[in-house]
Amino acid sequence: MSKILVLYHSNSGNTQKMAELVAEGARQLEGTEVRLKDVSNADHNDLVWCDGIACGSPTNYGSVSWQMKQWWDQQPIENWGKLDGKIGCVFTSAGAWGGGQEWTCMTLLSILINYGFLVFGVTDYTGVRTEARKLVGGLG
Ligand SMILES: Cc1cc2nc3c(=O)[nH]c(=O)nc-3n(C[C@H](O)[C@H](O)[C@H](O)COP(=O)(O)O)c2cc1C
């Protein structure tokens, strides 16, 4: 059984929709238990509980929303160094192309890394592969 925490903050609902889709995807994996939580109703027990986290914030001024940053800033120091080795990934919603979403994601990743989460890369773009892409890349 894998326990996945989908932790998000959303001002106007877009990141929330993304979080719901991430949770929906995670639930499709057999043997996975998912908690979908806004920062207003999540606490350090959720971090202790999970094996992995997907953390999402809107891009605000090219960075993480203050509500998400505050949530991490207020985590009890007693947890520090005790939760290392869990898996982490991040997502963001932004209004513009080149609106700073990569910075937001890097900032979220930096928070997770500081907290002891392991983050990872993949060797190709993720997402649904189109028929055209299959033809060009032959990647299936
Ligand atoms: C205070 C504030 C700052 C924002 N800063 C950016 C920004 O730097 N870059 C960008 O592309 N969009 C920016 N936006 C737009 C939001 O990122 C975008 O609307 C996002 O989808 C909102 O997500 P949410 O509905 O989860 O709050 C900003 C919005 C607000 C309210």
Of all protein residues, whose CA lies closest to atom 30 belonging to ligand 1? 60
pLDDT score recorded for residue 140: 45
Residues, the chain: 140
Q: Each residue's pLDDT tens digit in the chain (140 positions)?
A: 899 999 999 999 999 999 999 999 999 999 999 999 999 999 999 999 999 999 999 999 999 999 999 999 999 988 888 899 999 999 999 999 999 999 999 999 999 999 999 999 877 666 666 655 565 555 44
Predicted model pTM:
0.90
Where helices occur in the chain by DSSP H, the ranges are: 14-27, 44-49, 66-73, 101-115, 131-137
| Architecture in CATH of 2-137 | 3-Layer(aba) Sandwich (3.40)
Cα–ligand 1 centroid distance for 96 (angstroms)? 8
Atom of ligand 1 lying closest to residue 61 CA:
8
pLDDT score recorded for residue 14: 98
Measured in whole angstroms, the distance separating CA 5 from the mean position of its chain's CA atoms is 9
**Do residues 57 and 15 make contact, with C-beta atoms less than 8 angstroms apart?**
yes
| Domain map (residue ranges) of the chain | 2-137
